[in-house]
Every structure is written in structure tokens, then in C-alpha cells.
Structure 1
Amino acid sequence: MKIDTYTDEQRRTLLNLDQYYSAFKDAEIELRRLGNPLHWKTVNGKDYLYEIIDSRGNAKSRGARSPETERMHAEWHQARDRRNGAKEAIGEVGRMYRALRLGSISPEAAAILREADIRGMIGSAFIVVGTNAMPAYEIEAQARIGAGLDETQDFDMAWIGSLKLLEAGKKQNPLWDILKAVDSTYTINQERSFQARNAKAYEIELLVAPSRVATLIAGDKPAPLPLPEQEWLLNGKFVDHVICARDGSPARIVAPDPRWFALHKLWMSDQEKRNPLKRPKDRKQGERLLAAIEHFMPHYRMDSDFEAELPDELHPYFAAWREQNPRKSALAGSTW
């Protein structure tokens, strides 16, 4: 299989995207901390600082002009300007991203990931575990490996939250709040409680490893489906990259270790319970990702130490890959 490596222009675009997204996220977090929009209003010849409290323009006074209210006004507007400047820069780099045909995801998935990241939940409470993870693996490999394997109208996430989230006061319904914040039309599929759909039938599925069920927040929605094989995707070192959606909007993806993801995909391709329309794509994703690891991700070692970590279910897939790749097999256990 031929794999196209990234050009210098593609790498520059990704570096710029990462920089601009970081600036956007920091400014957006600061803007939310500072609260609602602030503006001056003159009443009886005296300036007062007003906070806009709803979409109808209703406002409440934060006090007369003073060094303190001037500071509050300046902080909010500076954060807004930084956020807007970063959004404008992202818009420009997003157009370049699309022109260079870098791996992308749906705007719906990007909106969810962006909101979750601003709320501090990506990589700490949720990871991406489906086809939407492929663009992040491409960046890790610096090669285009997911072409032709675009995602369908669904988005798989896995809950990985720890008890620290509960102890830190993360309560209420964190995932449901995120979904509703980006699209108020999301509803739960009554026949599949781990799935939510919006008015356009875009689907979100939440999964969880049995070892993380105890960290779920009671009452949150969707209600994830515990699957033993999700334990595999908690192992190794996650990838973490910023990508663009098809509309040029940014998102941060944290996804499983590519070795575990690839072997998991190969295993899924043989499961009769799996949708038969998805199984061929599962196999292609697993095979392409293993090839990319072999050639472009030497920091993810496919050696005897890694093999020793594998459960019985995945050993046959690793053995088959090693038999087909004798060069890599010979390097097992060496430094490369």
C-alpha cells in the first residue's frame, strides 16, 4: 500500500493550526471566566458598567466607572479581541487545511470536541475511539493514511473519567450539557440509551471500559455501554493533535495508542456482532494504521515487550502482522 507523506506546506499548516487553536482556547476560557459581555452606559451624565445577561439585551449594572470597573471592562474586551483574532487566523489556516486535503472530521464532531476541550474534558474524561481518530493518527505519522475511509454520520467517544473528576466537583450532566450547548436538538435514542441524535440524524455513541464504570456521573446522558474490549484502548500512550473539520473549524482529538487501536480494529472486523457494512472498513483502518506505525511511528514499538502486554484475543492479529512484516519482526527488542 502506498502512503503519501506530508509535504512541508502541510506541516507548516498543522503547526500554525496548533498555535492558533491554543490561543483561541485560552482566550475563550478566559472570556467565559470573566462572564457576560460588558459595556458602558451613560445614565444622568454618569458612566456605568453594564453586563448583558440574556439574548434579548437585558442588562444589569456592575457599578459606576472606577478603576475597578475599567479593569473589568478592559479585561473582557481584551480577551474577546484575542479570541476573535485567533478565530480569524484559524479561518485562514482552515481554508489552507482543506485545500491541502488533510484528514478531517464532520463539523458536528468538531463542535462537540471543541466545547469539551474548553470545559477541560478532552483527554481527561473523554477520548475519540472511532473513525474520527484517523486524522490524529495521520498527524502522528506525518502521512495520509485515512484517505477513502471517511467517517459515516456518527461519532464514537469513550468515557475514561477518573474519580478525580468527581472529587473536583465535576457533577450534573457533563456530556449532556456539552451536547446541548452545541446543538439543542440532541435527544437520546430510547432504544439505544448510549446513543444521542440531533435533528439531522447525526449520531453520538458513548462507550466505556468496565473498569471506568464506577467513575461515571449518575444521571448523565447518553448512558455508555460497557464493553470489555474498551479496556484495550486505555493502554499505551494516547495521541493528541489539533485537526480541522470539513468546514474549516478546529478541534482537538485525543485518541488511543495507535497500536492498540489498530489491533482492536482488526479484531472488530472479525466479530459477527459488528455491522457487516462496517467490518471491511475496520480491517482497512487496522491494516493501514499498522503499516503507518511500521514506517513512520518508530516511537510506538512493536516489539516483544509490547507483544507480552496483549490479551489472548489480540495475539493472533499481532502474530499475523509480524509474519507479514519480517523486517519489523527481526527488529523486535532492538532500538530503532
Structure 2
Amino acid sequence: MVNSRQRFEGFRAAQKRADGYRGSMVFSETAGTDYLLRSYYDPKTGLRRQKSLGRRSAETEAIKAAFDAGRDEAEADLAAARAAIERQAAINRALGLGRVPDPGARILRALDAAGVLGHGLRVVGTNALFAYEAAAGIRFPVEVTTTEDIDILFDARARLAFSVEEDQDGRSLLALLRKVDRSFARTSAAFRARNRDGYLVDLIRPMREPPWKTEPASLAEHGGAPDADDLAAVSVEGLNWQENAPPFEAMAIDQRGYPTRIVASDPRAFAVHKLWLSTRLDRAAEQRARDLAQARAVGQLVASHMPHLPFDPKALKNFPRPLVEAAMMLFAAEPEAGFSW
């Protein structure tokens, strides 16, 4: 895991540097004079733009030479970083370190590459547990982590900033999902997409007060590109608690051995929210039982393995006081059998 984190950090650094060289730098003749043109992608629209850096001269030729040399070096570094990730993934598979289901991991990497993971979108629900356990160096029992879907929380208050590699046609959640698997399609429920294997993606958002308050419901509406078929987030009561919680980021390993960045909510907020869900009579009995099991598992993990995140009512001030007081027992219990290292 230590090696995987180090190599993933190296890969992300190499990727960021290579991204800085996207586009091109060429001399182009206009009215008999050569000009140095820098082509780039507009971060707001994803469209390709050009900017003149001046007439051909010793200075502009040096600028182009430095750009070409820097791009070649960045591409070589990125190729080496990818190769290191591939070697590490093989080791991780052999050691059985993979935890994150492959479909969800691919989706998370697509959101991360697009620049929206942690910037308007975060993971809630069962997949968040893979971030918590990876950060703590333990494994939850399988009965609380089994999942065939992924819940994505959409915070319309955040400013979406798609990465420069995303063209105008790739700036919706459904378009990003189809880059992962072309079979993804929106279901009759506008907030949900399903692929041919039955894997589900739900886009959800908090219920606002007052309920009729308007805000963008999709990535396409909020800084993306027009897409009438994009997923439209459904409003869910209680999600404002996770939305307002500090983000929690960790690198986990997927079932194929590859690193996956996950951005979720503070695990304390996750546990308290799940405890609240376990009391909701509008949820099925098996859902409430799973909610309670997950609340207990995450509470025990925080208490035993995350001393930097103590149970502090001030850190949970967005929750109703009675709920925070009821959740105190989650963070005081001894770890149950089922955790493994």
C-alpha cells in the first residue's frame, strides 16, 4: 500500500505536468510573417483556442524549443509513471489488495480525470467505506461493503471546473459514464444510469430549504454543455449533513490492483448520517439494518484507527444535537470481530 501510494502520487504529479503541455506551439505564417502560436483548451468551454506569442525571433524560437523539450520530458516521465503503476497493479493483484469494485473505480477515475471529483461531486454510500478503510489500514467485513452501485453527491453550490482535456461534448455526467462504458444509459428515473451489466449510478443532492429553491440539477446545466439526457440529481432529505461535512480523501485499490482516488465526506458525518437513516421507517427493513451496521463499523474504525478525528460535537454541528448525542455510542464501542489488517 505504501508503494502504491508513492507511485500514485508520482503518477498524479507527472499527469499534472503533462497536462500543462496540452495543445501545441507552432510557427504559422500570416501576411508573410511568421508568428508563434500557442494552441490550448479553454477551461470554461473545453474549446480549442489560439494565442499569438509574437513574431519569429530568437526569443520566440527559444520559447518554442523550451516548450518542445519540456513536453518531451513530461511525456517520458508520464510513460515511466504509468509503467510503474502497471507493475504495482500486478503485485497488488497477486497480494489480493483489491477492494473497490471495478465499475465504480473506473467511474471515479473518469470523474477525477475530468476535474470534478472533489469539486462539486463526492462519493456517498457504501463506496465511501473503501476510502475510510484504506486510510485506516484495515478491512471492513464483506457484509458491509458489498455493492453493485455507486451514489454520487452533487453540490450545485460548488464551481465546476472541467479539466482542459475535456471537450465540449464530454461535459455531462452521462457523457463521462459513457467514456467508461458505452452501454450506460439513463433509466426512466432521471437521476439514475445503468449499464448492460446492471451496474447503477445515482446522482443525488440535498433537499433545499425552501423546497422550491431552484439550482442546477445536472452537470450539463452547471458549467457543462447542453445535454437534455444528462442525469438530473434527485433531492434527498438529510444529505445536507454530508454535503456540509469536510471532504475526506484517500487512495484505495480496485479489484484489478489499480489505485483509485476517492473523495467522500468526513467519516464521522457518514456514521451519524447512517445512524439517522437506520431509524427512518420509510426505508426497507434490510436497508435500515445495513445502515446501522455501516454506522457502527465506521464509528468503530474512527475510534480505533483515526485518533486525529475524535468524536467532537463541534465537528458535527450541522447535525441536530439529539442525533449527535445518540451517535456517541458509535464512537465508544470496542471493535467487533470482522475487522482485518
Q: TM-score when scaled to structure 2?
A: 0.71
Contact kept? 1:34, 1:76, Cα under 8 Å:
no
Which letter maps to 1:200? D
2:223 equivalent to 1:225: no
2: CA distance between counterparts of 1:162 and 1:77? Answer: 39
1: CA distance between counterparts of 2:95 and 2:144? Answer: 17
Which letter maps to 2:264? A
Contact kept? 1:27, 1:79, Cα under 8 Å:
yes
Per-residue deviation, 1:19: 2.0
- 1:26 is matched with which residue: 16, 24, 30? 16
The equivalent residue for 1:51 is none
Q: Pick closer, same or farther for the CA change 1:21–1:135 going to 2, 3 Å.
A: farther
User: Once structures 1 and 2 are overlaid, which stretch shifts more, 111-120 or 252-261?
Assistant: 111-120
Q: Deviations over 1:167-210 (max 9, x none)?
A: 999987431221122222110001x1110011222111111113
Per-residue deviation, 1:137: 0.6
RMSD of Structure 2 on Structure 1 (CA)? 3.6
2: CA distance between counterparts of 1:25 and 1:275? Answer: 44
Within a 5 Å distance, the mapping from 1:92-131 to structure 2 comes to 92-102=87-97, 104-131=99-126
Per-residue deviation, 1:213: 6.2
Q: Deviations over 1:108-144 (max 9, x none)?
A: 2112211211221110111000211112111332332
Q: Pick closer, same or farther for the CA change 1:97–1:24 going to 2, 3 Å.
A: farther
2: CA distance between counterparts of 1:82 and 1:168? Answer: 20
- 2:148 is matched with which residue: 148, 153, 164? 153
The equivalent residue for 2:280 is 271
Q: Pick closer, same or farther for the CA change 1:233–1:189 going to 2, 3 Å.
A: same
User: Once structures 1 and 2 are overlaid, which stretch shifts more, 309-318 or 123-132?
Assistant: 309-318
2:201 equivalent to 1:200: no
2:12 equivalent to 1:15: no
2:139 equivalent to 1:144: yes
Contact kept? 1:104, 1:135, Cα under 8 Å:
yes
Contact kept? 1:210, 1:231, Cα under 8 Å:
yes
Q: Pick closer, same or farther for the CA change 1:96–1:147 going to 2, 3 Å.
A: farther
For structure 1, the residue ranges without an aligned partner over 5 or more in a row are 1-9, 36-65, 327-336
Contact kept? 1:13, 1:97, Cα under 8 Å:
no
Per-residue deviation, 1:90: 1.2
2: CA distance between counterparts of 1:167 and 1:76? Answer: 22
SS of the residue 1:252 aligns to: strand
SS of the residue 1:298 aligns to: coil
2: CA distance between counterparts of 1:21 and 1:313? Answer: 45
The equivalent residue for 1:45 is none
The equivalent residue for 1:290 is 299
